[in-house]
Amino acid sequence: MSARGSREGARGFVRDNGLSLFFFVLFLVALIGQAFAGWNAFNEEQAAEGFGEVSLVEYVASVDFAVDVTENWQSEYLQFFLFIGVTVWLLQRGSPESKELDKAGTESDEEQKVGPHADADSPGWARIGGWRTTVFSHSLLLVMGAIFLASWAVQSVAGWAAYNETLLEQTRDPIGWGSYVVGSDFWSRTLQNWQSEFLAVGSMAVFAVFLRQRGSPESKPVGSSHGSTGVEG
């Protein structure tokens, strides 16, 4: 392939994947920034308590960094898991975040292009039928739920280890994982993230009824009535 063809291919890849690339780059920048900021804050706390400083690598490998990262990951994936699931059945009149008011439920095979109703370019598992089509029909929800549970489990273990480190520094006895996950530290970390996610999703669904952003698929067309539901512009 010529150099010109390679450049055009690269530009085409960026154009076709611009949304995901943009957010993955932001994710990496923010994660690196969190690592440096958290490292400095951790060392300041260490110095104030009379302990030695740690290196950046030691901090990134620590339970303190792990719990800070995973407690946000699990709440984000819980948000998507719930939103994907409940919008199958629950509706919001006037919101582009909702399906049309007469389409609650999983819809027919014809509407979903499943089995004999599939198009020529439909994914293989949508056409084949049986358990594979059933799994594929719910694959997005299953993956989001699995990531949520995995990150929540990691948060619980990392949080437990960090909590016990604090207890040991205070010359107190450590506690078991079971005691930690029913305790106030775990649920304070968890619920402070959940409440913000639920508020953000709920307010987005309502704001999009009355407010517009021209050209965005998260908004209705500027001239659509407030009552138009399931319309993207």
| Helices marked H in the chain | 3-16, 18-48, 56-60, 63-86, 109-112, 124-127, 130-137, 139-169, 177-181, 184-210
Q: Are 209 and 111 within one domain?
A: yes
The per-residue b/e assignment along 25-43, b for 16 or more CB within 10 angstroms, e otherwise, is eeeeeeeeeebeebbeebb
102 shares its domain with 213 = yes
At residue 4, the pLDDT reads: 66
Q: Are residues 133 and 209 in the same domain?
A: yes
Domain limit, last residue, from 61, 80, 99? 61
**Full pLDDT tens readout for the chain, 233 residues:** 566 667 777 788 888 999 999 999 999 999 999 999 999 999 998 898 888 899 999 999 999 999 999 999 999 999 999 999 999 999 999 998 898 888 899 899 999 999 899 899 999 999 998 999 999 999 999 999 999 999 999 999 999 999 998 898 888 999 999 999 999 999 999 999 999 999 999 999 999 999 989 888 888 889 989 988 877 65
pLDDT score at 82: 95
- 90 and 172 co-located in one domain: yes
Say if residue 36 is in the same domain as residue 133.
no
pLDDT at 215: 87
Contacts of 195 (CB under 8 A, 6+ apart): none
Tell me: do 148 and 50 sit in the same domain. Answer: no
What is the pLDDT at residue 5?
A: 64
Total structural domains in the chain?
A: 2
- The vertex-161 CA angle with 156 and 163, nearest 5°, equals 90
Domain containing 9: what range? 1-61
Residues 6+ apart with CB under 8 A from 110: 117
- Output the DSSP codes for 96-159: TTS--TT--SS--HHHHT-GGG--TTS-HHHHS-HHHHHHHHTHHHHHHHHHHHHHHHHHHHHH
CA 170 to chain centre: 35
Among candidate residues 45, 61, 77, the one where a domain is terminated: 61
Structure-token pair, residue 199: 């508020």
Specify whether 131 is located in the same domain as 189. yes
Q: Which of 61, 80, 107 is the C-terminal boundary of a domain? A: 61
Contact 134, 42 (CB under 8 A): no
**For the whole model, what pTM was predicted?**
0.86
Q: Are residues 133 and 220 in the same domain?
A: yes
pLDDT computed for residue 126 by the predictor: 92
Q: Are 185 and 159 in contact (CB under 8 A)?
A: yes
| 209, 226 Cβ separation under 8 angstroms | yes
70, 49: one domain: no
Whether 109 and 149 map to the same domain: the answer is yes
| Pair 100, 182 in one domain | yes
Same domain, 72 and 162: yes
